[in-house]
Amino acid sequence: MKNKLILPFALFLAFAFFNNKAAAQDTALKFSRVILYEIHADSTKAITVPANKVWKIEGVSMGSSGSAAAVFLKNASGQSIAFFTSPLSAISGNYPFWLPAGFSGTFINNSPSFWCSISITEYTVAP
């Protein structure tokens, strides 16, 4: 009796898995451009991800190796959604960090004396 139930269940799981994999591949990302923002000490940079684009934050470099230096990412409501420090820091945001189409927010460099650079790869969402 158990063997008769296992085969249909296994077939159902296999169908569900492969059906979801096919649906996930309906959308493709095509490379668009590389964006490099340089933000001076104690400065901000307002950003908006264009429609039909997604951004992949590849990394943030700080002019300081001090633990106090960080770049914060806030959404349009002013809520902090991520922060980035040295790539070697365990408390930094995970890379890559993705931003969806239409996202608006602000990068904030909290360092009082060092600039930062933010490396972003932009992709076009193609159906």
Query: Which CATH number goes with the domain that contains 118?
Result: 2.60.120.340
Please report which confidence band the pLDDT of residue 4 belongs to, taking 50, 70 and 90 as the band edges.
Answer: low
Range of the structural domain that residue 68 is part of: 27-126
Is residue 2 assigned to a domain? no
Token pair recorded at residue 2:
């158990």
Coil, strand or helix at 27 = coil
pTM above 0.85, yes or no: no
In a domain, 7, yes or no: no
115 within domain boundaries: yes
Asked, for residue 40, whether it belongs to a domain, the answer is yes
Residue 18 belongs to a domain: no
Of residues 8 and 114, more confidence is placed in 114
Residue 1 located in a structural domain: no
Q: Does residue 125 carry a pLDDT above 80?
A: yes
Name the residue with higher pLDDT: 19 or 33: 33
Written as six digits, the tokens of 73 are 């990412």
Does a structural domain hold residue 5? no
Total structural domains within the chain? 1
Compute, in degrees rounded to 10, the torsion defined by CA atoms 35, 40, 43, 49. 0
> Whose structure tokens read 């951004």?
55
| pLDDT exceeds 50 at position 11 | no
Which amino acid belongs to residue 49?
V
| Other Cβ atoms closer than 10 A to 107 | 21
Is residue 14, in this structure, part of any structural domain at all? no
